[in-house]
Amino acid sequence: MSKAVVLLSGGLDSSTTLGIADEEHEEIFALTFKYGQKHDKEIECAKQLADYYSVKEHIIIDTQLEKIAKSSLLNAGDIPISDEDEIGNTIPSTYVPARNIIFLSYALSYAESVDAETIYIGATAVDYSGYPDCRPEFFEAFKSMAVKGTKRGAEGKMIDIKTPLIDKSKAEIIKKGDELSVPYQKTWSCYRGGVKACGTCDSCKLRLKGFKEAGLVDPIEYE
């Protein structure tokens, strides 16, 4: 039986990745992380998505990353508003130091423990916020480390790390999710935790731009 571990934030990209993994594997194990986000809305969405896809197991891990990492995305910071043409040109203040290294390390331990052959992460290097741990060369380096540092790797049974969205624009991701009937109404992308998405943070702007370019209507509400 093919098994996969999916990093599930509850956002648009991770939900699309979950939809892809569900098509390709028989059993899905999902990991969601609390790391000091300003709100739990994405986590609640992750729970709904896990139920929707009937994942084998959904674990929510509190990393307490906010105690050591500095980022405007965490509790103490203010979310910046960027001009649309500036997004991705520099590493923004919402960057959380080493976040994907930490998340993938948890996923690697989990995958080896449940005998899963693949880890899925919804990173993209096209329409993205400029985070260095979302680039293809980072994931290639992590794969090499995983081979050297795990029992499975030592035995020649490498755990693959798939980034199915890495070369896709936000519009292409949304079209793929629409093709797979991913329930985008159950997702949340906004950095702020209001009743409705703010529509002004970098994440909202990228999401809205993606739906517009895909010729589809975003099913969530905005202020």
| Mean pLDDT, residues 191-195 | 85
| Mean pLDDT, residues 131-157 | 93
pLDDT digits (tens, 9 = 90+) for 11-59: 999 999 999 999 999 999 999 999 988 789 999 999 999 999 999 999 9
**Residue at token pair 């260095």:** 132
CA–CA separation, 25 and 210 (whole Å): 27
- Which band of pLDDT confidence, cut at 50, 70 and 90, is reported for residue 199? very high
Highest mean pLDDT among 3-12, 78-87, 189-198: 3-12
CA–CA separation, 177 and 93 (whole Å): 29
199: helix, strand or coil = coil
* DSSP result, 41-65: HHHHHHHHHHHHTT-SEEEEEE--G
What is the structure's pLDDT at 127? 64
Q: The pTM is what?
A: 0.91
pLDDT digits (tens, 9 = 90+) for 159-169: 999 999 999 99
Contact (Cβ atoms closer than 8 angstroms) between residue 66 and residue 74: yes
CA–CA separation, 61 and 203 (whole Å): 23
What is the structure's pLDDT at 166? 95
For the chain, list the domains and their CATH numbers.
Answer: 3-214 (3.40.50.620)
- Which band of pLDDT confidence, cut at 50, 70 and 90, is reported for residue 81? low
- Which band of pLDDT confidence, cut at 50, 70 and 90, is reported for residue 87? very low
**For helices 41-52 and 12-24, what crossing angle results, to 10°?**
20
Q: Which helix (H) or strand (E) holds 161?
A: strand 160-162
Q: Is pLDDT at 217 greater than 70 in this prediction?
A: yes
What is the structure's pLDDT at 194? 84
What value does the mean pLDDT of the chain take?
91
- Comparing 210 with 94, the larger pLDDT belongs to 210
What is the structure's pLDDT at 126? 80
What is the structure's pLDDT at 89? 55
- Which band of pLDDT confidence, cut at 50, 70 and 90, is reported for residue 7? very high
What is the structure's pLDDT at 88? 47
